[in-house]
Structure 1
Amino acid sequence: NENILVYKKPIGVVAGIIPWNFPVFILARKVATALMTGCTVVIKPSQHTPNTTMEFTRIVDEMAEVPAGIYNVVTGAGSEIGNALASHKDVHMVTMTGSITAGTKVMEAAAQNITKVNLELGGKAPAIVTENADLDLAAEEITTSRLANNGQACTNAERVYVHESVAEELTRKLKEKFEAQTFGDPRKDKEADLGPLVNQDRLETVDEMVQNAVSSGAKVVTGGEAADVAAGFFYKPTILTDVTHESDIMTDEIFGPVLPISTFSTLDEAIEKANDTVYGLSSSVYTEDLNEAMRVINEMKFGETYVNRENFEAVQGYHAGMRQSGLGGTDGKYGVEDFLVTQVVYMQYKENKK
């Protein structure tokens, strides 16, 4: 004599903290999901890229006819505005894309009110290339993945583990593709492959990581220095070989157009090295052997594994990491679930006895 009803309701006020590397894509992803689930949203853009958010806001205000108070923007430094939003008693969820350090601060602030957090906190994506891989395909897709947005993406292929029998050939193919890349101002040159890094600090950090790797024994196959471009923070697409698995450039997120390569002799070794990281966002494997592909898929500790393709998610999938790459996820029906709360109703009724 009882029916159980399960309701899905909007979680409430959502605070969205946006990174600088995809200031429109990630903004739209967070805003759209909040609004389609019936939530209101407060957006905090990166202090490095506020203008795109303000232009998006102008369009919403002038064209979307969204009632006042539904979509809101607050600008400022993450250490001040982000923490204030995360700790506010009237915020019911914080969704943030950024670094582990920033995510830790958001979690600490949100803990004051036991506020739900949804975090994407970067990655160190391994690409495993077996002796059974299509090397032309692997070189093409790894180049695309590594150099997308100039290497400034959480899902970029950040390190390569290639079987020792095909390492020389793969490196040669990658070198040709890296050296064919062109630089330019994307506002003026639509054919340019690479634009600048976000700022001078990022340029210096990328170069410091490369030089540290070289001083530790890594070999520069191509690149290895800032590009000679008149204006902007450009860095040459760089390939490093003879890189040890323990090297900082194999363990720390680079966020620049630099690809370190290491070799392996067995698939067990490759999987072990790929999983040996605090991150767990994206990964990839290149092989024509289905058995190898399935082994990697089943044993990788990453939220996403791409087989014979570059690392970029589809909106109908589910973009989520494991371990220190975050909590919860976005996209698809599972991403929508994160913006909802569940209410269960137990409804008893009397029997109609005649």
Structure 2
Amino acid sequence: MSNNRAYKLPHALHSIGGHSLEGNSKARSVNPATGEVVGTFSVGDREVAEAAIAAARKAFDTTLWPQDPRTRQMVLLRWADALERDKERLATLLTATNGKPLAQAKGEIAGAISEIRYYAGLSRHNPGRAMEVAPGEISITLREPAGVASLIIPWNAPAVLLIRALAPALAVGCTAITKPAPQTALFTAACMAPLIADASLPPGVVNVVLETGHEIAETMTTHNDVDVVSFTGSNLVGQRIMSAAAGTMKKLSLELGGKSCCIVMEDAQIETVAPKIAAAAMIISGQQCTAARRVLVHASRMKEMKAALSAALSGTKIGNGLDAGVEMGPLIDAASRDKVWDEISRSFDLADEVVLKGEKLAGPNGSAFMSPSLVAHSDENAPFCQEEIFGPLLVLEPFETEAEAIAKANNTVFGLSASVWTRQSDSAWRMARALRNGTVWINDHNKLFAEAETGGYRKSGLGRLHGYDALLDFTELKHIYQSVGAV
């Protein structure tokens, strides 16, 4: 028997109350670059979700976890250390399940480890305030853990997007149920395994449930014993979660869609700006909410930018993320690739000009490759300028004045991120303040890290993740008053 036949594929189980549990069925995890089965995972249902919620509720109500910041800090630090020891294997598994180039996967694992350590420090710094509001009258305000947190994690950056929700939730003393996307469930289970195995973690503080449909997610969103829902994903699903959670008035942390604009001013150095914007557009094959999607260019530089962006995009090396030198992997799966391709194809018929016409690329059966596309269009109200297309499409739009650029960029239902490209610092800061976005980069794009909050205006979501303010999404504010008498 060959080594390949003898090798047993990994299988991920639910983890509830400190116990690993098999489901009634299992599903396959498929490599989107090869179509090969990477492993399998248990598939749960409403009963599994209710058991996980009950375990998290019990842990919050009956253990010292919510009151013990020093234990929380050490649990998080040991988790980070365990991930660092296993980072090479985890990065390979991330690429195998998600498709992104291995260098990007390694960078994501490193960022996730850094973020755990950041919140480990903050676990011992969640201060309130005290005031004497009148003679002998003491007013104290405390931030307390909100309770049980449901975390619904997407597939596009499954390490960082897991940690940026779970780490602050644990840091403040919440207990949690994590439900990863099915495409990357195998990776999430491996990433969380050393945390769940920590002897100092009370059973039920961290639970993992897996599914291929929506029954578990719906239960996590509507259950009376869940106090917080944290979700990263599409605007449509975010709206459904808001509606479903209304009956129980849960706290919501939602990072939703985006349509990030890059505003390139007349004085920008096109030859250096274009490759950076191309890279920002093709990150995770365009499957990132902050990816560059619209490029607003001063009309006098439009021709130059078309040529430079087209060259940068067409030069992107596409392939299996585990192969050396690959800059862009497949989309997450064939069904998503086909849906995105239909959306991009419609832009070819509507745009003023198709500068670079991408295509679905041949590959192994079950793979999901596509090459980048670039179109130019003058009307920002076109559907492909307004709607989030979660794939490798970039739209070029001309403007004449700074005011017009701001008006075009702000003409959107989203408000997640944007960037300004200019050598004039006064112009850059003036525009950064005028843009209605949660993050604005100057002469850069997609710079995300633990210390700086991420989130959006308008339909891009509620709350903030990363940074100190992420703690606020998982806490409640309590005021305690006592009159002790004046001296």
Tell me the TM-score range normalised by the shorter chain.
over 0.9
| Among 324, 339, 342, the residue aligned to 1:208 | 342
| Among 367, 372, 375, the residue aligned to 1:237 | 372
Aligned partners of 2:351 and 2:375 also within 8 Å: no
SS in 1 for 2:197: helix
Report the residue type matching 1:193 in the other structure.
Answer: E
TM-score, scaled to structure 2: 0.69
Matches within 5 A, 1:322-337: 322-337=457-472
Aligned to 1:297: 432
Q: Give the Cα separation in 2 of the matches to 1:78 and 1:243.
A: 40
Moved over 3 A (4+): 62-65, 228-231
Q: Can you list the C-alpha shifts for 1:309-328, whole angstroms capped at 9, x where unaligned?
A: 01232210110101000000
| Among 199, 209, 213, the residue aligned to 2:333 | 199
TM-score, scaled to structure 1: 0.95
Are 1:55 and 2:229 an aligned pair? no
SS in 2 for 1:127: strand
Are 1:181 and 2:316 an aligned pair? yes
Q: Can you list the C-alpha shifts for 1:220-252, whole angstroms capped at 9, x where unaligned?
A: 222421124445211112111235322221111
Aligned to 1:158: 293
Q: Can you list the C-alpha shifts for 1:109-153, whole angstroms capped at 9, x where unaligned?
A: 211111111100110111111102122332122112101111000
- Give ranges in structure 2 of 5+ residues lacking alignment: 1-135
Aligned to 1:309: 444
Aligned partners of 1:213 and 1:243 also within 8 Å: no
**Could you tell me how far 1:64 is from its partner in structure 2?**
6.9
- Give ranges in structure 1 of 5+ residues lacking alignment: none
- Identity %, equivalent residues: 33
Q: Give the Cα separation in 2 of the matches to 1:17 and 1:137.
A: 38
Report the residue type matching 1:181 in the other structure.
Answer: T
Greater mean deviation of Cα atoms: 22-31 or 275-284: 22-31
Matches within 5 A, 1:35-184: 35-62=170-197, 65-77=200-212, 79-184=214-319
Which structure shows the higher helix fraction? 2
CA RMSD of aligned residues (A): 1.6
**Could you tell me how far 1:78 is from its partner in structure 2?**
5.7
Q: How many residues align?
A: 351
Change (3 A) 1:77 1:106: farther
Change (3 A) 1:349 1:319: same
Q: Give the Cα separation in 2 of the matches to 1:202 and 1:329.
A: 27
Q: Give the Cα separation in 2 of the matches to 1:78 and 1:104.
A: 18
Aligned partners of 1:155 and 1:312 also within 8 Å: no
Q: Give the Cα separation in 2 of the matches to 1:342 and 1:336.
A: 11
Q: Can you list the C-alpha shifts for 1:42-76, whole angstroms capped at 9, x where unaligned?
A: 01111232111121232323357522101001222
| Among 346, 357, 360, the residue aligned to 1:226 | 360
**Could you tell me how far 1:177 is from its partner in structure 2?**
1.3
Report the residue type matching 1:206 in the other structure.
Answer: V
Q: Give the Cα separation in 1 of the matches to 2:461 and 2:164.
A: 16
Q: Give the Cα separation in 2 of the matches to 1:229 and 1:220.
A: 25
Q: Give the Cα separation in 2 of the matches to 1:241 and 1:29.
A: 36
